Structure 1
Amino acid sequence: MIGARAASPAGHRNACRAFVSDNRAATAVEFALVAAPFLALIIALIQTFLVFFAQQLLESVVQQSARMVMTGQVQAQTLTQDAFKQQVVCKKILIFFDCNGVMIDLQVANAWSSANTAMPTLTFDSKGTVTNTWQYNPGNAGDIVVLRVMYVWPVVLGPLGFNLSNVSNGNRLMMGSAAFQNEPSS
C-alpha cells in the first residue's frame, strides 16, 4: 500500500512538497558550505599575522643590536659571533624564534654603494640545514657596517593554496638589516 500511494501522481506531488517545504537541515547544509572557506580565511589571517608580527620583532631587534655595534659596545666587549648572537640578539627574540635557527651576518663595507643589504640565497644540505657561511666583523670606529639577521620561519601551506614561503624548502626567510657607520671612538 505504501508503494502504491507514492507511485500515484498525487502522492509524488505531496512528497515533493514535503521535501521542498522541510527546511530543518537547511542551516546545517548552508553552514557546511560556508565553513570550509571561512576556516581557510581564518587560518590564512592567523598565519599572516604571525609572520608579519615576527618580521617586525626581528626588525626591531636588528635596530637595537646595530646600535650596540655602532656605539662600540660590541667591540669593547670583544664579543664573538656566537656571544653576539646569544647575548645581544637571542636575548630579545626568545618568544617567537628558536635561537639555534638565527643567522647573523655582520660585515664591513668599503663604501655605502657596496653595502650588501639584499636577501641572501640560502643553500641547504640533505637534512634541510642552512649551509651558508656568514661573516662576523663589527669593524672599527668610522667603518661602514651592515648587519643582517636572518631566520627561516616554518610555514604551513594554508588551505586553498595560501602560501607565504619564499625559499626552496617551502619555508619563509625573514631578514632584518641595518647599514650604519660606526661612531668615532672618544
Structure 2
Amino acid sequence: MGRPTGSRNRPSNMPAPRGLPAFPSRGRSTLLLARLLGAGRGFARARSGAGAVEFALLAVPFLLLLCVVVEAAMMTLSQQTLDSAVDRATRALRTGAFQDAADGNDPAGRLRQVMCGRAAVLFRCQDLKLDVMRGTSFASVRPAEPYDSQRKDWAPSFGSTFQCPLGGDIVALRAAVPVLRLFNALDFTRHPMGANSQLLVATAIFSTEPYSGKSCQ
C-alpha cells in the first residue's frame, strides 16, 4: 500500500497544488525578515540633514546673543575709557597742574588733549565736548545736561562753558562723546543720536587745592 501524498510530506521544491497560495520556506522567511529589520535600523540611523536643521534653529538666537555681548562690551569699554579721561582732567585741575601749563591757547582744547593725548581711548577725541563750572559749594554747582531728549542730539548750550578753577573752588566737570552703535536695536545709554551712535557721559565734582594766582590761559 502506497504512502499518502499529503502536503505535510511534499518536498519544499514541489509546486503547490492548483488553487493554494505558495508560501516561502522557513529559510526564505528568515532572510526576508532580517532584510526588513536591517532596512528599519538603517532608516532609524539615517541623520543626513539633521545637523543643518539643528544649526538653523540655533543659529539665529546664538547670533543675536553674540551681537548683544559685543555691543555691551564695546559700550562698557568706551565708558571706562571716558571715565579714565575725566579722572586725568580732574587730577590736572584739582592740583593746579593744568593752570601751570597754560600757554595762551583755548583751555577747553588743552584739557581735551590732557584727556586723550597720552592714553588709548575708544572714541574720537575731536567729538568730545566738555563743560567746566565752578562754585563755592557743592549745592551751587550744577553741570549742564549734554543731551536733548526731544531732538535726540546735543543740547545746544553744552560744551560752551569753561570757568577756570581757582584755589579752594568746587568744580564740576562733565564730558560727553558720541560712540558708534553697531546695532540699532540695542540702546544701553538711553541717549541715542543720529548716524548710528549713542552718547556717553561722565561727570566729576571735586574741590581744588588751595592754590592761588593761577590762570588757565
For this structure pair, what is the TM-score category when the shorter chain's length is used for normalisation? Answer: 0.7 to 0.9
Deviation at 1:132, TM superposition (A): 3.6
The separation in 1 between residues aligned to 2:54 and 2:97, in whole angstroms, is 62
Matched, 1:81 2:105: no
The one of 97, 104, 117 equivalent to 2:123 is 97
Asked if 1 retains the 8 angstrom alpha-carbon contact of 2:145 and 2:155, the reply is: no
Matched, 1:53 2:77: yes
The one of 29, 32, 48 equivalent to 2:56 is 32
Asked if 1 retains the 8 angstrom alpha-carbon contact of 2:132 and 2:162, the reply is: yes
The separation in 2 between residues aligned to 1:49 and 1:140, in whole angstroms, is 38
The one of 137, 155, 161 equivalent to 1:111 is 137
Give the direction of change, closer, same or farther, for the CA distance of 1:64–1:165 in structure 2 (3 Å limit): closer
Asked if 1 retains the 8 angstrom alpha-carbon contact of 2:144 and 2:158, the reply is: no
Deviation at 1:57, TM superposition (A): 1.5
Give the direction of change, closer, same or farther, for the CA distance of 1:89–1:116 in structure 2 (3 Å limit): same
User: Gaps spanning 5+ residues in structure 2: where?
Assistant: 1-39, 213-217
Deviation at 1:114, TM superposition (A): 2.6
Give the direction of change, closer, same or farther, for the CA distance of 1:92–1:105 in structure 2 (3 Å limit): farther
Deviation at 1:130, TM superposition (A): 6.7
Matched, 1:183 2:176: no
The separation in 1 between residues aligned to 2:148 and 2:43, in whole angstroms, is 61
Deviation at 1:131, TM superposition (A): 4.2
Q: Higher helix share goes to which structure?
A: 1
The separation in 1 between residues aligned to 2:115 and 2:171, in whole angstroms, is 17
Letter in 2 for 1:101: D
Deviation at 1:145, TM superposition (A): 0.5
Percent of paired sites with the same residue: 27
Asked if 2 retains the 8 angstrom alpha-carbon contact of 1:138 and 1:145, the reply is: no
Letter in 2 for 1:89: M
Question: Larger deviation: 75-84 or 52-61?
Answer: 75-84
Asked if 1 retains the 8 angstrom alpha-carbon contact of 2:147 and 2:155, the reply is: no
Question: Normalising to structure 1: TM-score of the pair?
Answer: 0.75
2:162 is aligned to 136
The separation in 2 between residues aligned to 1:105 and 1:27, in whole angstroms, is 57
What is the DSSP-based 3-state SS (H/G/I as helix, E as strand, rest coil) of the residue aligned with 1:112?
coil
Question: Larger deviation: 132-141 or 49-58?
Answer: 132-141
Equivalent positions of 1:144-183 (< 5 A) are: 144-157=170-183, 161-169=185-193, 171-183=197-209
Give the direction of change, closer, same or farther, for the CA distance of 1:118–1:35 in structure 2 (3 Å limit): farther
The separation in 1 between residues aligned to 2:150 and 2:89, in whole angstroms, is 27
1:84-124 CA-partner distances (Å, limit 9, x unpaired): 212x0121454411111111111113421132257532489
User: Gaps spanning 5+ residues in structure 1: where?
Assistant: 1-16
Aligned residue-pair number? 165
The separation in 2 between residues aligned to 1:55 and 1:122, in whole angstroms, is 20
2:4 is aligned to none
Deviation at 1:19, TM superposition (A): 8.0
The separation in 1 between residues aligned to 2:167 and 2:60, in whole angstroms, is 58
The separation in 1 between residues aligned to 2:144 and 2:191, in whole angstroms, is 14
